[in-house]
């Protein structure tokens, strides 16, 4: 995610950034403009379309369907944004859960017991880093603690589901504390919400990552945009002549941009400019948990 100054409108008109849809769509827009010029030339010079021609009333259909296409694109935009925002909320919950667990561990355990604090100071932020790598399909081997802690593995097994192993270690450690009498049953219950939340967050992120919008909608919207734009110059050539070319290009730019941005936004766990800054958030978790459990 790029931080920017929102205020200068002119800047946005001429600014063409790497992530801009204009640069991505440029080849297709040019192709459509050439096609529109061809259609206009054919109608004006070859078929010699006149006011009697039926073709001049074709834009009626485009008006009729303009509502449907607009609403479909808004549906697309809304669902894509909802996924993106849900992804952001889940990572916000991860921050909260990490902090709350650290605050509670700091309170319920003996502040002199450096070994407990060390474990959680290390294991809590690792969950965030591991989830980030898991969502980006990276395989990283994390060591959970130095030295030997009975019943806890020191390293994760990259062949298996990594965040699950860290969640399991966290829960196992808390249970060891409970069985060893270092925390009471009431305190175990108090810690339970945070411990379950890690796996809930992981599963919800996986859901967003693995489930795109239904295939039927995805295909239908693209097909509709293409058919709509390809038939547009046929009627416009009579009304607007060669001006039809830039207009068709502009209409396609608007419609296709919305589809393109939606595609980019709906999977927020990648490394695009619009994707969530999971690396930075993981570092924040590390810093804050470190502060709390120091």
Binders of a copy of itself among residues 254 to 293 (CB under 8 A) are 254-258, 261, 263-265, 273-274, 288, 291-292
Give yes or no for residue 211 binding a copy of itself (CB under 8 A).
yes
Residue 152 interacting with a copy of itself (CB under 8 A): no
Please report how close the Cβ of residue 271 comes to a copy of itself at its closest, in angstroms.
14
Closest alpha carbon to 276 in 91, 77, 17: 91
Q: What is the dihedral of CA 277, 279, 284, 286, to 10 degrees?
A: 160
* Structural contact between residues 72 and 216, judged by C-beta atoms closer than 8 angstroms: no
| Residue 23 makes contact with a copy of itself by CB under 8 A | no
Q: What is the DSSP letter of 94?
A: H
Which stretch in 113-121, 122-130, 141-149, 244-252 sits in contact with a copy of itself by CB under 8 A? 244-252
- Can residue 154 be called a binding residue for a copy of itself (CB under 8 A)? no
CB-CB neighbours of 83 under 10 Å? 21
The residue behind tokens 């319920």 is 108
Residue 12 engages a copy of itself in binding (rule: CB under 8 A): yes
Applying the rule CB under 8 A, the residues between 130 and 149 that interact with a copy of itself are none
Q: How far apart are CA 228 and CA 255, in angstroms?
A: 10
Which of 78, 139, 140, 143 touches a copy of itself (CB under 8 A)?
78
Which residue is it, tokens 């948990």? 289
Distances (CA, A) of 243 to 33, 80, 163, 237, 246: 10, 34, 57, 8, 6
Is residue 81 within 8 Å of residue 236, measured between CB atoms? no
Nearest approach in angstroms of CB 279 to a copy of itself is 14
Write out the binding residues for a copy of itself, residues 163-192 only, by CB under 8 A: 164-165, 167-168, 171-172, 174-175, 178, 184-190, 192
Which residue from 34, 38, 47, 60 is in contact with a copy of itself, where contact means CB under 8 A? 60
Taking the complex as a whole, how short is the minimal distance between the CB of residue 139 and a copy of itself, in angstroms? 15
């Amino acid at each position: 995610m790029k931080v920017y100054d929102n205020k200068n409108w002119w800047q946005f008109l001429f600014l063409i950034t790497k992530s801009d849809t204009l640069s991505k769509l440029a080849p297709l827009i040019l192709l459509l403009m050439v096609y529109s010029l061809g259609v206009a030339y054919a109608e004006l010079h070859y078929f010699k379309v006149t006011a009697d021609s039926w073709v001049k009333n074709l834009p009626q259909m485009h008006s009729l369907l303009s509502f449907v296409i607009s609403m479909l694109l808004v549906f697309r935009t809304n669902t894509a944004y909802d996924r993106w925002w849900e992804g952001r909320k889940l990572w916000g919950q991860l921050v909260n859960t990490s902090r709350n667990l650290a605050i509670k561990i700091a309170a319920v355990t003996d502040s002199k017991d450096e070994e407990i604090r060390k474990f959680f100071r290390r294991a809590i932020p690792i969950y965030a880093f591991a989830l980030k790598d898991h969502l980006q399909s990276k395989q990283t081997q994390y060591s959970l603690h130095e030295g030997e802690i009975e019943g806890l593995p020191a390293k994760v097994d990259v062949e298996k589901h990594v965040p699950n192993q860290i969640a399991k270690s966290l829960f196992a450690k808390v249970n060891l504390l409970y069985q060893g009498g270092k925390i009471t049953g009431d305190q175990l219950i108090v810690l339970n919400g945070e411990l379950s939340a890690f796996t809930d967050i992981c599963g919800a992120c996986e859901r967003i990552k693995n489930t795109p919008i239904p295939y039927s909608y995805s295909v239908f919207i693209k097909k509709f945009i293409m058919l709509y734009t390809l038939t547009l110059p046929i009627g416009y050539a009579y009304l607007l002549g060669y001006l039809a070319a830039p207009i068709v290009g502009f209409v396609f730019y608007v419609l296709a941009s919305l589809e393109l941005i939606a595609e980019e936004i709906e999977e927020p766990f990648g490394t695009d400019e619009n994707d969530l800054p999971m690396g930075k958030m993981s570092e924040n978790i590390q810093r804050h948990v470190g502060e709390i459990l120091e």
